[in-house]
């Protein structure tokens, strides 16, 4: 298909999502444990040692040998720190021990501090006695056996899981310093628009920036990582330079997607010889959204109208980032019954910020393409096909990036 032919053919909503979700998964890399969090594990995590390595004490107290009487000779030296390694106990002997210390050979059980008493403190003749009702003299009591959590070589986590903080910590316990993961895609943001300001009350003709503020948190919630964020005047050469100089897996631009002379993204992509994968999408709002590729870098163009930009992020950005991360399936959504009759567009789909209440989808107000107020109250984007969705029929719902479901019933429920 010629470039011109592609430029004149908007993708359907489903085609656009499929194309975004077909992006190639990033190659796996070896990362330090902290930096592997959020990556997709591509190799199993196995125990590099028995965990625990050796039998250890579960209590602060005394390692005691087996005796007929609940009384022991207390050794002068004991373990005051978990890394102290004690010599074997002789019969009738006890030695002080702390939680986590390896128990010495000859240990019958560990008597916790509050269940025993040192009855003579004379250095040569110190004696330890246990309280009569203590359960701590059962064999093995308060001793964590070696390898109780895992044997050396045992599988702890399978490939295909996203590395959570707990998985990284488990890998550390298992003796690893690095993990092999598909990393979080690195994103450069390019925010266009000379009228956009970042603080204060906008003068007439100016607007307060929504994207520089919200996109970093949204893309992080979707599993990508912000590499950097740049601003460009509405100038093709400036946008060309910012796309060209990016060392990112994905470039997300805002504004300048429509076809007028002031709109810089398409001319910039043409000048760079980028391949257009999705020229525009048959959806409202957000239809001028585009997806392109230049070498191994993908470019997601979000329209400048605030709600249109965030809609396009949910429709295209979400499957794109999932695909780059190697998450399966790359394209996800759920369905909920329409809470009322939802009006559809003449063609394509209409995407409506909505609340999920009583398990049904309810549109919010103030949700035109240039507005933010409705989205602030939304839990989901409802995708309404041409012809509409009568009350009670299932409606596809997408996540609003970064939004969380209501923690408790909303007012009026």
Give one DSSP letter per residue of 153-173, joined into a string. Answer: T-EEE-TTSB--HHHHHHHHH
Taking contact as CB under 6 A, which single stretch among the options 100-108, 140-148, 243-251, 278-286 is the one that binds ligand MOO? 278-286
Binding track over 218-257 against ligand LQZAQKY5, x by CB under 6 A: ------------------------------------xxxx
Whether residue 94 contacts residue 28, with contact meaning beta carbons closer than 8 Å, is answered with no
Alpha carbon 366 to its chain's center: 30
Of the pair 78, 256, the CB lying nearest ligand LQZAQKY5 is at: 256
Nearest approach, Cβ of 268 to ligand MOO (angstroms)? 19
Give one DSSP letter per residue of 310-344, joined into a string. Answer: HHHIIIIIHHHHHHHHT-SSSS--EEEEBSS-B--
C-alpha 169/C-alpha 175 separation (Å) is 10
Whether residue 380 contacts residue 399, with contact meaning beta carbons closer than 8 Å, is answered with yes
Nearest C-alpha neighbor of 402 from the set 216, 168, 208: 216
Instruction: Identify the residue among 73, 112, 284, 379 touching ligand MOO (CB under 6 A).
Output: 284
Asked if 266 touches ligand MOO (CB under 6 A), the answer is no
Asked if 15 touches ligand LQZAQKY5 (CB under 6 A), the answer is no
260 interface partner picked from ligand MOO, ligand LQZAQKY5, none, CB below 5 to 8 A per type:
ligand LQZAQKY5
User: In this structure, what are the phi and psi dihedrals at residue 168, rounded to the nearest 5 degrees?
Assistant: -60, -40
SS3 288: coil
Of the pair 288, 301, the CB lying nearest ligand MOO is at: 288
Binding track over 302-331 against ligand MOO, x by CB under 6 A: -x-x--x-----------------------
Asked if 210 touches ligand LQZAQKY5 (CB under 6 A), the answer is yes
Strands 250-254, 297-302: pairing is parallel
Nearest approach, Cβ of 264 to ligand MOO (angstroms)? 17
Asked if 39 touches ligand MOO (CB under 6 A), the answer is no
Nearest approach, Cβ of 18 to ligand MOO (angstroms)? 20
* Cβ neighbour number for residue 297 with a 10 Å cutoff: 18
User: In this structure, what are the phi and psi dihedrals at residue 9, rounded to the nearest 5 degrees?
Assistant: -125, 100
Rounded to 5 degrees, what angle do the CA atoms 213, 215, 219 make? Answer: 145
Asked if 200 touches ligand LQZAQKY5 (CB under 6 A), the answer is no
Asked if 57 touches ligand MOO (CB under 6 A), the answer is no
Binding track over 333-372 against ligand MOO, x by CB under 6 A: ------------------------------------x---
Of the pair 128, 378, the CB lying nearest ligand MOO is at: 378
SS3 21: helix
Asked if 285 touches ligand LQZAQKY5 (CB under 6 A), the answer is yes
Nearest approach, Cβ of 199 to ligand MOO (angstroms)? 25
What is the tally of helices (H) and strands (E) in the chain?
Answer: 10, 27
- The residue count for binding ligand MOO (CB under 6 A) is 9
Subset of residues 376 to 395 that bind ligand LQZAQKY5, contact rule: CB under 6 A: none
258 interface partner picked from ligand LQZAQKY5, ligand MOO, none, CB below 5 to 8 A per type:
ligand LQZAQKY5
- Sequence-ordered list of residues with C-beta below 8 angstroms from that of 166, at least 6 positions apart, any chain: none
Nearest approach, Cβ of 361 to ligand LQZAQKY5 (angstroms)? 23
Nearest C-alpha neighbor of 396 from the set 364, 350, 340: 350
Nearest C-alpha neighbor of 12 from the set 1, 22, 20, 4: 20
Asked if 286 touches ligand MOO (CB under 6 A), the answer is yes
Asked if 279 touches ligand LQZAQKY5 (CB under 6 A), the answer is no
Nearest approach, Cβ of 280 to ligand LQZAQKY5 (angstroms)? 8
Burial (CB count within 10 angstroms: exposed 0-12, middle 13-18, buried 19+), residue 124: exposed
Nearest C-alpha neighbor of 192 from the set 53, 288, 279, 119: 288
Of the pair 7, 258, the CB lying nearest ligand LQZAQKY5 is at: 258
Give the footprint of ligand LQZAQKY5 on this chain (CB under 6 A). Answer: 191-193, 195-196, 207, 209-211, 254-260, 263, 285, 287-288, 303-306, 308, 369
User: Residues in the site for ligand MOO, rule: CB under 6 A?
Assistant: 284-288, 303, 305, 308, 369
């Amino acid at each position: 298909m010629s470039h011109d032919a592609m430029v004149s053919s908007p993708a359907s909503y489903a085609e656009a999502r499929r194309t975004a979700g077909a992006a190639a998964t990033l190659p796996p890399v070896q990362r330090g444990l902290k930096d592997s969090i959020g990556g997709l594990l591509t190799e199993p995590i196995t125990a590099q040692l028995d965990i625990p390595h050796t039998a250890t004490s579960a209590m602060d107290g005394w390692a005691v040998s087996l005796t007929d009487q609940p009384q022991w000779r207390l050794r002068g030296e004991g373990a005051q720190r978990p890394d102290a390694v004690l010599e074997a106990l002789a019969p009738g002997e006890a030695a002080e021990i702390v939680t986590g210390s390896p128990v010495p050979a000859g240990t019958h059980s560990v008597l916790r501090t509050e269940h025993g008493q040192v009855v003579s403190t004379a250095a040569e003749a110190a004696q330890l006695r246990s309280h009569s009702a203590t359960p701590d003299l059962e064999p093995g009591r308060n001793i964590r056996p070696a390898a109780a959590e895992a044997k050396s070589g045992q599988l702890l986590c399978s490939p295909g899981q996203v590395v959570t903080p707990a998985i990284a910590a488990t890998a550390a316990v298992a003796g690893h310093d690095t993990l092999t993961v598909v990393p979080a895609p690195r994103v450069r943001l390019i925010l266009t628009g000379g009228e956009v300001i970042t603080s204060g009350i906008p003068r007439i003709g100016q607007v307060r920036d929504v994207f520089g503020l919200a996109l970093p948190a949204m893309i992080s919630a979707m599993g990508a990582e912000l590499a950097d964020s740049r601003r460009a005047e509405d100038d093709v050469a400036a946008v060309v330079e910012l796309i060209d100089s990016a060392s990112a897996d994905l470039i997300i631009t805002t504004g300048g997607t429509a076809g007028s002379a002031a709109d810089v993204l398409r001319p910039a992509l043409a000048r760079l010889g980028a391949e257009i994968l999705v020229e525009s999408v048959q959806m409202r709002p957000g239809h001028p959204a585009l997806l392109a590729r230049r070498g191994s870098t993908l470019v997601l163009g979000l329209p400048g109208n605030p709600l249109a930009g965030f809609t396009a992020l949910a429709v295209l950005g979400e499957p794109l980032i999932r695909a780059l991360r190697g998450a399966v399936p790359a394209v996800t959504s759920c369905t909920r019954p329409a809470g009322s009759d939802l009006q559809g567009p003449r063609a394509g789909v209409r995407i409506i910020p909505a609340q999920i209440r009583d398990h049904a989808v309810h549109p919010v107000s103030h949700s035109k393409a240039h507005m933010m107020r409705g989205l602030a109250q939304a839990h989901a984007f409802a995708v309404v096909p041409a012809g509409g969705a009568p009350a009670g029929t299932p409606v596809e719902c997408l996540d609003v990036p970064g939004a969380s479901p209501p923690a408790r019933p909303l007012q009026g429920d």
